[in-house]
Amino acid sequence: MCTFNTLLKAEHLTEFICRFNIMSNKKVTKIGILCSGGDSPGMNAAIRAAVRTGLHYGLEVFGIMRGYSGMLEDDIFKMESRSVANIIQRGGTVLKTARCMEFYEHEGRKKGYENLRKRGIDGLVIIGGDGSFRGAQTFSNEFDIPCVGLPGTIDKDIAGTDFTIGFDTAVNTAVEAIDKIRDTADSHDRLFVIEVMGRDAGYIALHSGIATGAENILIPERKTYIDDIIQSLQEKEKRKKLVNLIIVAEGDDFGGGDEVAKYIKQKMPQLEVRLCILGHIQRGGTPTCMDRLIASRMGYHAVECLVEGKHNVFVGIQNNRMNYTPLNEAVKKKQRINEEWLKIVKILAT
């Protein structure tokens, strides 16, 4: 006869505990909000929504500066409705953000817990990426502090949500820049290699490349066959098509935009090849309407989760409905590139 103990194999025990703890009777009365990892446009809208929703439910709300670093350094302050006035339109984050190596160690996390405990903070809203969620999951398991994550990353690489806070703004920034570069490429019959952000994920390259009519899009999720690109360029040269845009995610396996541009120059010295690296302009700037809306919606639902006892999840949106993914699952999975997009790229670039 199959018993509970045989069903609950050791290797699944942690996952079972995490799922069981998603719903909790623990009442949250004071919440802390922090941003961790890279900044992304729309974080301020999420902070604003979480603060005002918390106050609406009668909670005390605290801001934690510079992510987990501020938690360890006790850089924590009480927030009121006025604290988040006039920030929804601003890029970056008023709470600042940082990466904290000390938080990787148990003693560091314990120091952070003590700083929360002396203020009575019994719930956290963490705005960041999968690394931030991994830290939140570990911290919650060790000290029984309910955590809810919001996906704040321009890379859109977190499984469980169709949108991440900042992606839409980053893509629109890239599209605007690439459109301007195409004007110069047209005027001078040049080939431009344009590098966009995306160390591990190619969504910015993919979306901005399709939107600007790029001839080639190189992303980390697919091997780059550079000689196929050279052959394609040679064929286009025969057809007198001298204006080409190649969009490269920085994590492309050939080495990013610089290496791609060098190789093309070497193989086709007759072409005028220019390299443009867009860099951190993609992380800043005024958030788009889309990013303000999804960040506000996610911030509101993050606090709702804590109030309702739905803990240790990250809040996402799928098919225009709120989706709640356990943090332990969020850190294991990456958002996969839809094969249809790759087919579209191939057909439209001919």
Known catalytic residues are 155
User: How far, in Å, CA of 187 to CA of 183, rounded?
Assistant: 6
- Helical segments of the chain, H only: 4-7, 13-20, 43-56, 67-73, 106-117, 130-143, 167-188, 203-211, 226-238, 256-267, 289-308, 327-330, 339-348
* Neighbouring residues of 310: CB distance < 8 A, sequence distance ≥ 6: 22, 23, 148, 304, 324
Closest CA to 297 of 269, 327, 318: 318
Residues 121 and 62 sit within 8 Å (Cβ to Cβ): yes
Residue type, 321: R
* Neighbouring residues of 83: CB distance < 8 A, sequence distance ≥ 6: 51, 63
Q: What is the 3-state secondary structure (H, E, C) of 273-335?
A: EEEEECHHHHCCCCCCHHHHHHHHHHHHHHHHHHHHCECCEEEEEECCEEEEEEHHHHCCCEC
Within 10 Å of residue 270's Cβ, how many Cβ atoms? 8
Q: Which residue has the tokens 């007198």?
A: 240
Q: Which residue has the tokens 């505990």?
A: 17
Beta bridge partners of 318: 321
**123: Cα within 13 Å, side-chain hemisphere:** 29
Closest CA to 293 of 39, 34, 46: 46
